Structure 1
Amino acid sequence: MSRLLGVIDAATVMGGLQDLTLNRSVASIPFAGRYRFIDFVLSNMVNSGVSSVAIFPKHQYRSLMDHIGSGKNWDLDRKRDGLFFFPPYFEPNETTSIGSFARLEQHIEFFKRSHQDYVVIANSYVITNVDFEEALAEHLIHDYDITEIQHEGESLEMYVLSKSLLVELIENRRTSQFISVSDVVKQPLHSFNIGSYEHKSYTAIIDSIPAYFKHSMDLLGHAAWSQLFSLDRPIYTKVKDEPPTKYATNAQVSDSMIANGASIEGTVESSIVSRAVKIGKESVVKNCIVMQKSQIGKGCTLEYVILDKDVKVLDGTTLRGTAEKPLVLRKGSIREAAVAK
């Protein structure tokens, strides 16, 4: 039985990801063709033996609840422990920093009743494959009060601490002036023993559209893919029954990830194509991210473009961005060829 209780703080608001979060939370942003951001931290917890996970969302969390459901795909639909979803009460001026004590206080009885002695608190926008049990071992060996998980010296805003300390910090938040677990770690003037655990495997902190595009393209390389998706620590997601991808006779695909249910009649190069996407004849899609059920018509040219879900690009349209500033087509939008004047 794991000694760790999992807490996913999914209340983060990222201004740099606004084009992708108009209708969803950061935690439910699609990634790598068939996954969502939250799949990675949730799978990390399950692979670390965590059997009780609490998710604390704040904004636009309907799609997140739909994706996670009962937690069955992560083996968290249990009679004891399992998955807990705690939508927020109204809290004016509440911080969105990781491990907000005001947010956790609304459900403090959950922590008091849980039987685990330690807690791992994590965000949903760091894409990696980390073993939280190893971080806990480091925490115990050095007798830290709070252990911060880092990558190459940079904080991943993931923390391990004892449940008793967490409850104490929550109950004393009004007198201590600490507002969150991350606030405690960052403040220099206190008596807590703060330590770090260095995570060495591939890690992506996705806080902007350029970062989203860069780290998505990283997955087309073997090094990043093999570190993120390992056989002994799989990344789980919501299972959808889709037919195999259909490739037309003249279709050409190279250096790309294509999810099930797609229909490819054109050319796809160095791109990520999600489920049920349609790409028409004589269209060229290069260095693009195409999300679920988007449709690209005939004779289109797209380069460095991110298409959110259910986007339609009409016949003959040319769209180009750059690697540093990819063009984003928002969910459900329609783009057509410019009319010459």
Structure 2
Amino acid sequence: MKQTMLGVIDATSYHESLEDLLLHRSLAAVPIAGRYRLIDFVLSNMVNTGINSVAIFPKFQYRSLMDHLGSGKNWDLNRKRDGLFFFPSPDLQGREDGVGSFNHFAYHLDYFYRSKQEYALISNCYTLCNFDFKPVLDRHKRIGCDITELRKDGKPLEMYILKTSLLIDLIENRKASGYMCMKDVVEDLQNTYKVCGYEQDGYVESINSIEKYYSTSMNLLTPDNWKQLFQKNAPIYTKVKDEPPTRYVSGSSVKNSIVANGCFVEGNVRSSTVFRGVRIGKNTTVSNSIIMQKSQIGDNCVLENVILDKDVKIEDGVKLIGDPMAPIVIRKGMTQGALMNS
């Protein structure tokens, strides 16, 4: 597989509904499940499939993404041949619809020319899944497809397999054909290509709104969903951080929650995801919430249906109760006090 297919991850996507979480990071770098980023899933799927040449195409606020991925060591992609590549867009103005912008790819066409892999896998950066792409490629070749589109329950997942030579041709002839991304090609009923669909099984969620991010985080607290996504024979890799175990003070209580390392818990946590280095004060109850890295929650607080971004400070006595369909979001680095909340 490593000599057969290269991976291409489009990290340019932007969804307005997620704006509160995208002020300081790209969509690909949005934290989820206690210690992961959205891009970890597709990238790990590629590595587990045997792909060892992966190109990331970011556009907006990608410093945190580059910091997270680094040299690719945690995905075994820090290698002399192939490995992990970053190709930022030189055009930082405007947004293009559809995964796999041919205009963006055109700036880095040499990468595709130099690639020795016969096939390319193009994917979005925000789908939580655990796929083996080998059967997809095998079927693609067996029935003679030009393009294979992965789907779940009939809905496109914005993941495509095609020959690298065809991808180069689409990039070079984008102005003449009018095709500006993979979606344009697949949805054109008049195209001359054999487009095949491949139905995927298992747990799949695409994060394209705050509501979807919140509901997916809550769904991952269900053991069956967690087991489908995090499999022993196909692990999801992420950046490794050396931190001490979480400390639970006498009288604290945690139920049905994900709690990462380095936390200090004095209060009560129910059906929530708590990232690394979070402090939860005395007589504080956190329920149905997402608390990101290094956030500090004071004493005598009540948080329900809330998303706290990184480094948020909640002062003593604050009460925040959101709606499951519209959770309260506190942006990165903000401070929320009792007087501010009244």
TM-score, normalised relative to structure 1: 0.98
1:25-36 matched pairs, under 5 angstroms:
25-36=26-37
Judge which range, 96-105 or 229-238, deviates more.
96-105
1:225 aligns with 2:220: no
- The answer on whether the counterparts of 1:249 and 1:265 sit within 8 Å (CA) in structure 2 is yes
1:155 aligns with 2:156: yes
- Give deviations 1:41-83, integer Å, cap 9, x for gaps: 1001000100000000000000000000000000000010000
Q: Report the equivalent of 2:112.
A: 111
Percent identical among aligned pairs is: 52
1:265-284 matched pairs, under 5 angstroms:
265-284=266-285
- The answer on whether the counterparts of 2:318 and 2:341 sit within 8 Å (CA) in structure 1 is no
Letter in 2 for 1:111: F
3-state SS in 2 of match to 1:18: helix
- Give deviations 1:172-201, integer Å, cap 9, x for gaps: 111111001121011111111110111111
Structure 2 unmatched runs, 5+? none
1:254-265 matched pairs, under 5 angstroms:
254-265=255-266
Q: Report the equivalent of 1:61.
A: 62
Superposition deviation, residue 87 in structure 1: 1.0
Q: Report the equivalent of 2:43.
A: 42
Q: Distance in 1 between matches of 2:76 and 2:93?
A: 35
Q: Distance in 2 between matches of 1:92 and 1:280?
A: 43
- Give deviations 1:4-57, integer Å, cap 9, x for gaps: 100000001111111100111000000001000010110010001000000000
Judge which range, 90-99 or 48-57, deviates more.
90-99
1:53-202 matched pairs, under 5 angstroms:
53-90=54-91, 95-202=96-203
Alignment CA distance shift 1:339-1:24 (3 Å): closer
Q: Distance in 1 between matches of 2:56 and 2:240?
A: 20
Q: Distance in 2 between matches of 1:283 and 1:138?
A: 54
3-state SS in 2 of match to 1:63: helix
Q: Report the equivalent of 2:213.
A: 212
Letter in 2 for 1:133: K
Equivalenced residue count is 341
TM-score, normalised relative to structure 2: 0.98
Judge which range, 215-224 or 82-91, deviates more.
82-91
3-state SS in 1 of match to 2:339: coil
Superposition deviation, residue 240 in structure 1: 0.3
3-state SS in 2 of match to 1:112: helix
Alignment CA distance shift 1:94-1:273 (3 Å): closer
Q: Report the equivalent of 1:285.
A: 286
Alignment CA distance shift 1:340-1:153 (3 Å): closer
Superposition deviation, residue 252 in structure 1: 0.5
Alignment CA distance shift 1:214-1:82 (3 Å): same
Q: Distance in 2 between matches of 1:335 and 1:322?
A: 18
Letter in 1 for 2:300: G
- The answer on whether the counterparts of 1:11 and 1:96 sit within 8 Å (CA) in structure 2 is no
Superposition deviation, residue 96 in structure 1: 4.0
Q: Report the equivalent of 1:314.
A: 315
Superposition deviation, residue 90 in structure 1: 2.0
- The answer on whether the counterparts of 2:319 and 2:341 sit within 8 Å (CA) in structure 1 is no
1:243 aligns with 2:244: yes
Alignment CA distance shift 1:196-1:318 (3 Å): same
- The answer on whether the counterparts of 1:13 and 1:96 sit within 8 Å (CA) in structure 2 is no
Letter in 2 for 1:103: H
**Which runs of structure 1 show a deviation greater than 3 angstroms over 4 or more consecutive aligned residues?**
91-94, 338-341
Superposition deviation, residue 118 in structure 1: 0.2
Q: Distance in 1 between matches of 2:90 and 2:263?
A: 40
Judge which range, 229-238 or 81-90, deviates more.
81-90
Q: Distance in 2 between matches of 1:68 and 1:9?
A: 15
3-state SS in 2 of match to 1:167: helix
Structure 1 unmatched runs, 5+? none
Q: Report the equivalent of 1:13.
A: 14
- Give deviations 1:228-261, integer Å, cap 9, x for gaps: 0000000000000010000000100000000000
- The answer on whether the counterparts of 2:59 and 2:92 sit within 8 Å (CA) in structure 1 is no
